[in-house]
């Protein structure tokens, strides 16, 4: 298993001095966030052992979805629909502050891959096992991420999969086909049970978590300012019921068969969704 366990746990902590938006705690202290990050690490390790088989645990990581900045000794796995565009742009800025002036109209991931090649397992392992490299992932409540992907990729264009999106997902899974990157499960896409991330950031507390990350990575705050970070997102509590009440209980269970490991590994709850569905079949 890839570890990178020497990360930064022994670094001295101090007051962060930055109040996250939508967070009632003030001021946020760095040692409190550090403790939270350590707890997340431990919980993910324990839950991975619970939900994955030994064979799954020892599979090589999906290294091709990682971006590595040797300049800032930073490793990130790009989870789509979890501040991915923001951080793809951040990695471009980390490569060269002037790069924004020469960007094409390509998508952020296409732009970023011009400068950050997909690493091999060996290259990723080499970085993760160096004590001075920091690795991180941003995760999001799995069904909110799924809705975000649906609204962004299908709802706006009403393409051929719009009316049968859930059935399409379930059929793809039943036939063992790899899911689209925008809704692929975390545990397959970013290998959090094979890669010991230094920090696990949550989309729900992202402003706080990102500010902490900037403090911990040397030189990063000189390039990425707090106001440039992802600091707002849609409140999906207002829309999620309208989407899930269109599903049957059977469809919901099918989705959980795909995403339940993500819910468990990262400590999200899925029980409320059974209250939203309206029919049993």
Domain assignment of residue 111, yes or no: yes
Q: Domain containing 158: what range? A: 30-275
Residue 16 and residue 34 in contact, taking contact as beta carbons nearer than 8 Å: no
Task: For residue 165, give the nearest of 183, 188, 139 by alpha carbon.
Answer: 183
Beta bridge partners of 136: 76, 199
Domain assignment of residue 97, yes or no: yes
pLDDT of residue 100: 58
Domain assignment of residue 239, yes or no: yes
Residue 119 and residue 62 in contact, taking contact as beta carbons nearer than 8 Å: no
Q: Looking at the 3D structure of the chain, how many domains does it have?
A: 1
Residue 39 and residue 200 in contact, taking contact as beta carbons nearer than 8 Å: no
Q: How far apart are CA 264 and CA 106, in angstroms?
A: 35
CA atoms within 13 A on the CB side of 267: 14
DSSP class per residue in the chain: -B--TTSSTTS---B---PPTT---SSPBHHHHHHHHHHHHHHHHHHHHHHS-HHHHTSPP-GGGEEEETTTTEEEE--TTSSHHHHHHHHHHHH-TTGGGG--SS-HHHHHTTTSPPPPHHHHHHHHTSTT-EEEEEE--HHHHHHHHHIIIIITTT-TTGGGHHHHHHHHHHTTPPPPTTT--HHHHT-TTTB--SEEEEGGGHHHHHHHHHHHSTTGGGTS-GGGS------GGGTHHHHHTTSBHHHHHHHHHHHHHHHHHTT---GGGGGT--B--
pLDDT tens, residue order, the chain (281 aa): 444 433 333 332 322 333 334 444 344 588 899 999 999 999 999 999 999 999 999 999 999 999 999 999 999 999 998 999 899 989 999 998 666 555 556 678 888 888 999 999 999 999 999 989 999 999 999 999 999 888 876 655 554 444 588 888 899 889 888 878 889 999 999 999 999 999 999 999 998 999 999 999 999 999 997 655 655 556 677 778 888 888 899 999 999 999 999 999 999 999 999 998 877 76
Q: How far apart are CA 250 and CA 256, in angstroms?
A: 10
Domain assignment of residue 13, yes or no: no
Residue 248 and residue 280 in contact, taking contact as beta carbons nearer than 8 Å: yes
Domain assignment of residue 180, yes or no: yes
Q: How far apart are CA 168 and CA 15, in angstroms?
A: 48
pLDDT of residue 6: 38
Domain assignment of residue 96, yes or no: yes
Domain assignment of residue 25, yes or no: no
What is the layout of strands, in order, in the sheet containing 199-202? 66-69, 74-77, 134-139, 199-202
Domain assignment of residue 8, yes or no: no
């Amino acid at each position: 298993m890839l570890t990178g366990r020497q990360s930064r746990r022994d670094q001295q902590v101090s007051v962060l001095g930055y109040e996250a938006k939508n967070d009632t705690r003030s001021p946020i202290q760095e040692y409190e966030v550090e403790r939270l990050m350590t707890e997340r690490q431990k919980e993910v390790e324990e839950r991975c052992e619970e939900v994955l088989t030994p064979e799954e645990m020892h599979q090589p990581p999906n290294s091709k979805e990682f971006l590595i900045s040797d300049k800032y000794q930073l490793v990130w796995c790009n989870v789509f629909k979890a501040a991915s565009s923001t951080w793809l742009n951040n990695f471009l800025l980390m490569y060269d502050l002037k790069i924004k002036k020469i960007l094409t109209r390509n998508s952020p991931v296409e732009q970023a891959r011009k400068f950050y090649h997909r690493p091999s397992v060996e290259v990723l392992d080499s970085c993760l096992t160096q004590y001075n490299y920091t690795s991180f992932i941003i995760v999001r409540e799995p069904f909110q991420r799924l809705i975000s992907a649906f609204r962004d990729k299908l709802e706006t264009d009403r393409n051929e999969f719009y009316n049968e999106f859930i059935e399409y997902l379930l059929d793809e899974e039943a036939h063992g086909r790899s899911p689209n990157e925008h809704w692929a499960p975390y545990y397959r896409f970013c290998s959090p049970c094979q890669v010991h991330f230094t920090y696990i950031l949550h989309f729900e507390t992202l402003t706080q978590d990102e500010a902490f990350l900037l403090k911990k990575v040397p030189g990063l705050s000189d390039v990425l300012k707090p106001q440039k970070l992802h600091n707002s997102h849609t409140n999906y509590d207002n829309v999620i019921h309208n989407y899930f009440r269109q599903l049957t209980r059977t469809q919901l269970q099918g989705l959980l068969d795909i995403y339940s490991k993500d819910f468990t590994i990262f400590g999200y709850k899925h029980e409320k969704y059974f209250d939203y569905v309206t029919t049993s079949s």
